Structure 1
Amino acid sequence: MTSAPLAWCRCELADQPVAAWRVRSVPGVRRQRSCCRQRGEGETGAAQRVRAGCPRRTELSTGRGIGLVGARSARHGRGVDVYGLTNRPALLAAGVSDNELARWCARGDIVRVARGAYLPAASAEGIEPAAWHALEVRAALERLRVPVVASHVSAAVLHGVPTWGVPLDRVHLTRISPGSVRRTTTLHLHGTGLAEDEVDLLDGCRVTSVARTVVDVARTEPFEQAVAIADAALRAGLVAPASLAHARERARHRAGATAAGRVVAFADGRAESVGESRSRVALRRYGLPTPELQWEVRGGGRFIGRVDFGWPALRTIGEFDGRTKYTRDSQDDAADVVWAEKRREDALRAVGLRVVRWTWADLSDFGPVVGRLRSVFAAP
């Protein structure tokens, strides 16, 4: 297939692989039960078989269909189209039968994302877990008949916030009006209810506001994971500290409110990565002095560098060495980046600062790093 939009008669779909399609009804074409072949209009050749007046004409666009312009369900007035995600009502409305869907799934042309939601196999290759979860969320919102909103970690995914360490095995939705709770292996429907200002519309999906999302995550997930999400939301400018505090206050009578209060009080948008957020939690867990984040070091009247963690009174700096630190610019040779980092550290040491470094692997067992930091703190 080419990457340009093509028009196909519905009766051709059964003979064509659909590894990379998006389906949407052609405006102005009335759907009928008969197809062009049944009406004797099935000329040979794709260009001849696809007639502008064919009542079962369907437009297919190949390649990754990223965006929200796509299949429209005749029943619901909307469809799902992220990476080519399309729902069953939209496909049926376009003239595709359940037998055809089953056949395409069986031969691997399409992938079933959730009940009644399908994705082209080519588009499914290499999708990150968070992006796949977003597809599951959209499919669930399309499928459920009750007024619900994406919430908790599912809302965080839709807002584009990193969700390190939080399972994405269930779609989390919250009822707009208080109601019963429902929990299955793939869905957690929360029944707390939502105020009007706690709901945003994001790319056509109703989702809890960032403040409500962060607080919901902080109420229900471990401290370290919740801090990483709260820091990321603040860092991206998606929410203000005052808004988080207000959202936490509104949740004061809900389960986990105390835990959420600890997260909101500790969150800091100056942490520039999940690794730095986890480092902050580890430093707190071991009772070390609170560092100054993104400390700007100057010496001899000039700016030397900005460091991840600084203890000015103890003349010590801490650096989390994430991989991105050494791949800041794809145009830079890795050796040049490492050399520049070494020169920067030499300049920091030249003004009397002690440097302690750690990596992502160290965060799983932070004790040795703590030992090094305490030794440096105690040194004259």
Structure 2
Amino acid sequence: MTPDDPMLTDIWLRRELLASGENEKTLRRALQAGLYRRPRTGAYVDGAVWDAASAEARYAIKVRAAYRQAKTEVVISHASALLFNEAPSWGVDLSEVHLTRLDGKTGRREAGIRQHCGRLADGDVRDVHGLQVIAPLRNCLEVSTAASVEVALVVVNHFLHRGDFTLEELRERYANRMDRWPHSLTTDLVLRLANPLVESVGESRTSYFFWKQRLPTPVPQYEVYDGSVLVARLDFAIPELGVWFEFDGRIKYQGEVDPSDVVFREKRREDLVRELTGWRCFRITWKDLADPRALAERIRAFIARVLASA
């Protein structure tokens, strides 16, 4: 996140604008003209920046506005910390701002803000462009208590693959400090499914899909060699069944000068893997994951055909 990121755009509180010479009339006119936008009552941002911002960036601006307006010392936490920790927010409920109070008082909910009360340990908070934000290790544990297993797994695998901490460190923190937190039973399952080799949102969802649908457990990032030369790294493979799976999210084609070149290279890669291993490939898309039962039936039929032809 760079300083010019829309999520970090300037926020002016109403009292600051009034002190700088604005008045109720000029503020009202500026809002009507689109010069200002108001992400929260009493907080203003540049209208052009707000209008061009993505939904995630707008949420981050709302979080920062609530952070600035807090009447006690707080830390940006739970789902609200994900964007500032540069983590995916797929499936995460971004309808509320989450802040953790540092004054020890009971948390509460009001005006689109959920305040939490929690005891913080050393290393739980980091500075992000002047904001006090829950650090990644605690952040993913917090999310696991409030989100589904699939959503939490996406977050945990992201941080693990990025190298923010190890799975052992995560498990130790859970066992020593938070296994008695409310709603933490989900966390135990997430930690058993987590794998630092899983690289993306789509791959994490695919990994969860295999577990949820009681399919054979695939090996992530399976390496294929031609002699001593690594020629391919497969998203998922089940060597004993002679099949492998690729998550095809199309994102990897974006930014290419000619996407057809990418498709051609993928085809050559797939042909080479098949030639070296004799295995068959099954591609999974976002649309497939939206109907997991139908996808599971197709995969079971695919595996059955492969075994029958062996």
> Cα distance, 1:376 vs. partner?
4.1
Relative distance call for 1:195 and 1:133 in structure 2 (3 A) is same
Give 1:226's match in structure 2, choosing from 122, 139, 152: 152
Structure 2 match to 1:316: 243
| Preserved contact between residue 293 and residue 307 of structure 1 (Cα < 8 Å) | yes
> Cα distance, 1:251 vs. partner?
0.9
SS at match of 2:145: helix
Structure 2 match to 1:158: 84
Cα RMSD of the aligned pairs, angstroms, is: 2.1
> Cα distance, 1:224 vs. partner?
0.7
For 1:243 and 1:110, locate their aligned partners in 2 and report how far apart those are by CA, in whole Å.
45
Deviations 1:261-320 (A, max 9, x none): 211232223222111111111100011222111111123554331110011222210011
TM superposition score normalised by structure 2: 0.90
Deviations 1:229-263 (A, max 9, x none): 11112222233323322332211111112211211
SS at match of 2:104: coil
Structure 2 match to 1:78: none
Give 2:114's match in structure 1, choosing from 170, 188, 195: 188
Give 1:340's match in structure 2, choosing from 265, 271, 275: 265
Structure 2 match to 1:128: 54
Larger helix fraction of residues: 2
Structure 2 match to 1:147: 73
| Preserved contact between residue 72 and residue 103 of structure 2 (Cα < 8 Å) | no
Relative distance call for 1:370 and 1:299 in structure 2 (3 A) is farther
SS at match of 2:209: helix
Report which structure shows greater RCO (CA 8 Å, sep ≥6): 2
SS at match of 1:270: coil
Residue 264 in structure 1 maps to residue 205 in structure 2: no
Matched residue type, 1:103 = R
Larger radius of gyration: 1
Structure 1 match to 2:274: 349
Structure 1 match to 2:211: 284
Matched residue type, 1:276 = E
| Preserved contact between residue 111 and residue 120 of structure 1 (Cα < 8 Å) | yes
Structure 1 match to 2:8: 82
Deviates more, 1:187-196 or 1:247-256: 187-196
SS at match of 2:38: strand
SS at match of 1:162: coil
| Preserved contact between residue 40 and residue 62 of structure 2 (Cα < 8 Å) | yes
SS at match of 1:84: coil
For 2:214 and 2:116, locate their aligned partners in 1 and report how far apart those are by CA, in whole Å.
36
| Preserved contact between residue 316 and residue 376 of structure 1 (Cα < 8 Å) | no
> Cα distance, 1:67 vs. partner?
6.6
For 1:299 and 1:280, locate their aligned partners in 2 and report how far apart those are by CA, in whole Å.
27
SS at match of 1:194: coil
Structure 2 match to 1:66: 4
Residue 371 in structure 1 maps to residue 260 in structure 2: no
SS at match of 1:158: coil
Matched residue type, 2:57 = A
| Number of aligned residues | 302
Deviations 1:332-360 (A, max 9, x none): x1111111111111112222011111100
For 1:153 and 1:246, locate their aligned partners in 2 and report how far apart those are by CA, in whole Å.
22
> Cα distance, 1:196 vs. partner?
4.1
TM superposition score normalised by structure 1: 0.74
Matched residue type, 2:272 = A
Q: Which runs of 5+ in 1 are unaligned?
A: 1-64, 69-80
SS at match of 2:182: coil
> Cα distance, 1:201 vs. partner?
1.8
Relative distance call for 1:347 and 1:368 in structure 2 (3 A) is farther
Relative distance call for 1:247 and 1:368 in structure 2 (3 A) is same
| Preserved contact between residue 166 and residue 221 of structure 1 (Cα < 8 Å) | yes
Matched residue type, 1:165 = G
| Preserved contact between residue 245 and residue 283 of structure 2 (Cα < 8 Å) | yes
Give 1:274's match in structure 2, choosing from 201, 204, 211: 201
Matched residue type, 2:41 = R
Give 1:107's match in structure 2, choosing from 30, 33, 40: 33
> Cα distance, 1:154 vs. partner?
0.2
Deviations 1:178-198 (A, max 9, x none): 322211351111123323432
| Preserved contact between residue 39 and residue 61 of structure 2 (Cα < 8 Å) | yes
SS at match of 1:220: coil
| Preserved contact between residue 34 and residue 48 of structure 2 (Cα < 8 Å) | no
